Amino acid sequence: MIEEIKITRSIIKNAVDELLDNLDVDVIVGGGGPAGLVAATYLAKKGKSVVLFERKLSLGGGMWGGGMMFPKIVVQHEAKEILDDFKINYTQEEGYYVASSIEAVGKLVAGCADAGCKMFNCISVEDVMIREGRVNGVVINWTSVETAGLHVDPVTAKSKVVIEATGHPLEICKIVEKKTGRLNTKTGKIIGERSMWAEKAESEVVENTKEIYPGLYVCGMAANAAYGAPRMGPVFGGMLLSGRRAAQKIDENI
């Protein structure tokens, strides 16, 4: 039998040690949805040290619920290779593939862990570190602190690059826009997502995956929200491709 206090000590010690070991890394990913998970996985496979912070209890973003809580997602042919990389099962329809949203999330998270990315849940990015005109880290706190409205100071984590993958809320980009006054968009501001148009949104999300401010890359639905493209609904191929594209761009530059 394991004594309760030993269980407690083991949990706290190992959790704290892991966080301490990952406060100065190559890449920090803010948001554990499909795009963030894919980006983190491919970067970790390239040998980069990667940490992912997710504000909610569970990772997976909007993928869990499929379409209107029917637990299925659609992925177009261009992203089939990523489904195969993560060993996600699917059935083939005419020109696209259908997969279980639950299996997809489970295997994305497992693949991310297996690649060596360290993932922390219930942690929010509440600010960024900027040095000499470049984002070089994030300011983090427990999500519960924010939820309870407590006045508790945050701590910092340093990185060469930060990935904005918080989806519709665009939490990190909003912080950078507020603090710096300018992003790499047509207006210099967040343009905001348009109404749903899956076909257009799926192609534009990959095009919009780029460095939106020095040291800050945006991917997934956050990319379309930042650059004024449509939302896409339960079609997730663009999310997966955007995550891979972010990893490719970052790998070329750090």
Which homologous superfamily does the CATH classification assign to the domain defined by 4-253? FAD/NAD(P)-binding domain (3.50.50.60)
Tokens read off for 95? 């020109």
Q: Using the structure block, give the residue that is written with the tokens 């259908």.
A: 98
Where do runs of H (alpha helix) occur along the chain? 4-20, 34-45, 80-85, 101-115, 143-148, 171-180, 198-207, 221-227, 237-253
Helix and strand counts by DSSP (H, E) for the chain: 9, 11
Average pLDDT over residues 170-198: 96
Cβ pair 221, 201 in contact under 8 A: no
> What is the token pair recorded at 185?
């968009």
For residue 138, what pLDDT is reported? 98
Q: What is the mean pLDDT of residues 16-20?
A: 98
**Residue ranges covered by each domain of the chain:** 4-253
Residue 20 confidence (pLDDT): 98
Residues 87/249, Cβ–Cβ less than 8 Å: no
Residue 95 has pLDDT above 90, yes or no: no
Residues 200, 248: Cα–Cα separation, whole Å: 22
Q: What pLDDT does residue 101 have?
A: 98
Task: Give the pLDDT of residue 150.
Answer: 97
What pairing do the DSSP bridges indicate for beta strands 134-142 and 155-164?
Answer: antiparallel
What pLDDT shows up at residue 2? 83
- Higher pLDDT, residue 244 or 233: 244
User: Percent of the chain, pLDDT > 70?
Assistant: 100
**Residue 246 confidence (pLDDT):** 98
Please list, in sequence order, all residues whose beta carbon lies within 8 angstroms of the beta carbon of residue 15, skipping any fewer than 6 positions away: none
Residue 1 has pLDDT above 90, yes or no: no
If you average pLDDT over residues 14-36, what whole number do you get? 98
Average pLDDT score over residue span 247-251: 98
> What is the CA 55 to chain-centroid distance, rounded?
11
According to DSSP, residue 214 is labeled: T
Q: How far apart (Å, rounded) are the C-alpha atoms in residues 137 and 25? A: 9
Residue 21 is predicted with a pLDDT of 98
Contact 132, 62 (CB under 8 A): no
User: How many Å is the Cα radius of gyration of the chain?
Assistant: 18
pLDDT, tens digit, 9 for 90 and up, residues 56-81: 999 999 999 999 999 999 999 999 99
Across the chain, mean pLDDT equals 97
Residue 6 in this model has a pLDDT that exceeds 80: yes
Measure Cα distances from 1 to 4, 9, 11, 14 in Å: 9, 15, 16, 20
